[in-house]
Structure formats: C-alpha cells, structure tokens
Amino acid sequence: MNTIEEIKTAIEAAVPGATLKIVLNPSVSAQHSLVLDHEHAVKVAEFLRDADGLQFDFLSNVTGVDWLDKELTEKVKVQRTVTKVVDGVEKVVEEEVEEARKRFVPGFIECVYHLYSIALRQGPLVLRMRTANRTDQVQMPSLTPVWRSAEFQEREVFDLFGIVFAGHPDLRRLLMWDEFEDHPMRRDYVEPDDFEYEPTPHDQVLKRAQAHKAAAQEGTVAAQ
C-alpha cells in the first residue's frame, strides 16, 4: 500500500497543474485524505483508476459533509504607543497588549469519496472536494463518468446537501420528492411545520376575509 505522500507525488507527476492538499486524520484509524481542486479532479480520478500500481477501480462510498461558517476568536499581540505618566513626567511608551480579535472563516460543503482497489487489494484512499461557500458557489465536477457507482450517491449528496455536480448525467433528487426545496442534511436545516402544506382554495378565502376585516375596522375608525 502506497502512503498518501507517495500517491500525492505520483498524481502531481502525472497530472501537471493539479494542486493537492493532504488532510491528516488524527484518530486511531489514520485514514488520511487528499483534497482535489475542481479543475483537474476528473483527470486525477482517471489517473487513480487506471495507473499501474494504484488502480483504484472500486469507488465504495460517496458522501457529503457540511461545515458551517465559523467565527473564531483569537488572541493577537498588538504593539501600541501609549502616553503614560512615569514619575510625574509624561512619556511615550511602546507596550504589548493582547487583543481579542474575531476572524470569520467561511464554511463549505465537502464531498468525500472512499476508493479501494479490487485489482491490488489496497485502500481506502479518501478523496475530498470542497465548494467555495455554502450559498451560491456550490458546484463541483462529478466523478460519475469515471466511476459509475457515484451515480446514485452523488444524486443523494445533491438531494440532501445541495452540491451541484457538473457533468452528472442525471442529476435529480433521490430520496426527497422533486418539489421539495431545502437540503435536509445541512447543519442549519430547519424542518417545516407541515411537510405536506399546499395552498388550497380555502387559503384564498381566508386571506380575502382578513382583508375585509381590516377594511371594516379602518371604516369604523374613520367613522368615529
């Protein structure tokens, strides 16, 4: 089994321009992962599938992970000049002060792929891809053209996390119904009060009645 560093250098030699980042896993399992960039992801995937000595032909698991926006509070040491009264004389003194600063870390949604090699009996190799943010830039390339097993699983990630996979042959919701609008596996998802709410003719009648009521009240106020 190749180490993650060896795989990284092999990919960088074979796919020029690919930027990869190793994410270390501090737990006992020590399953480290590689973060791919969107531009070269499909080429890297094809290389991993076909290259001798790697042959990761079996894509076992595809899933999403939602990482929320974070606001980190950090303590930063700041130099500042203060005028101080020392022994009755005013002096300008430089001093070091600790200051709490808030730093905004944008969240992202991540897609995680677990690869195994049936030919060489090795694995798992964990690949990750990250979206730019959680709201409007949620696209990433689909790996379904490389491994067919991603077909339903990427549909599920699209459904539950809202990642849009460019190049997926049939990107529809898998588990929720087509008219559903939210993405239930996101961490900030709030359940609707009534899943099956549909506007009915009765709603229009109620709305009209409320309008009449308001108008009637205004009329009585005007009359007084």
Partner 1 sequence: MTTLVNDRHAPGWNRPPIIESDGEGELLEVAMGPHHPSTHGVFRMDVALDGERVVRLKPVFGYLHRNHEKIGEGVSYLASMPYTDRLDYFCSLTNNWAYALAVEKLVGIQVPERAEYIRVILAELTRIQNHASAIGFLIQEMGASGTPLMYAFKEREKIMDLFESLTGSRMMCNYMRFGGCRVDISEVQLNMARSIVAGLPNFIDEFEALLSSNEILLARCQGVGIIKPELAVNAGLSGPMLRCSGVNYDLRKVDSYGIYGRFKFRVPLGDHGDIYDRYMIRVLEMRESIRILEQALHDIPAGPVADPKVKSRGIRPKPGEVYGRIEAPKGELGFYLISDGSPNPYRYRVRPPSLINLTILEDMCLGQNVADVVLIFGSVDIVLGEVDR
Kindly list the residues in this chain that would bind partner 1 in the complex (CB under 8 A). 25-29, 31, 57-61, 63, 65, 112, 114, 118, 121, 124, 126, 145, 147-153, 160, 169, 173-177, 184-185
Smallest gap, in angstroms, from Cβ of residue 223 to partner 1? 56
Task: Please say which residue, 21 or 212, places its beta carbon nearer to partner 1.
Answer: 21
Smallest gap, in angstroms, from Cβ of residue 169 to partner 1? 7
Biggest distance spanned by C-alpha atoms of the chain: 91
Task: Please say which residue, 175 or 211, places its beta carbon nearer to partner 1.
Answer: 175
Smallest gap, in angstroms, from Cβ of residue 101 to partner 1? 23
Task: Please say which residue, 40 or 155, places its beta carbon nearer to partner 1.
Answer: 155
* Backbone conformation region of residue 28, classed left if phi is above 0, alpha if psi is from -120 to 50, else beta: alpha
Task: Please say which residue, 40 or 49, places its beta carbon nearer to partner 1.
Answer: 49
What does DSSP assign to residue 155?
H
Smallest gap, in angstroms, from Cβ of residue 118 to partner 1? 5
Closest C-alpha among 186, 114, 192 to residue 153 = 114
Q: What is the DSSP string of 203-219?
A: HHHHHHHHHHHHHHHHH
What does DSSP assign to residue 61?
E
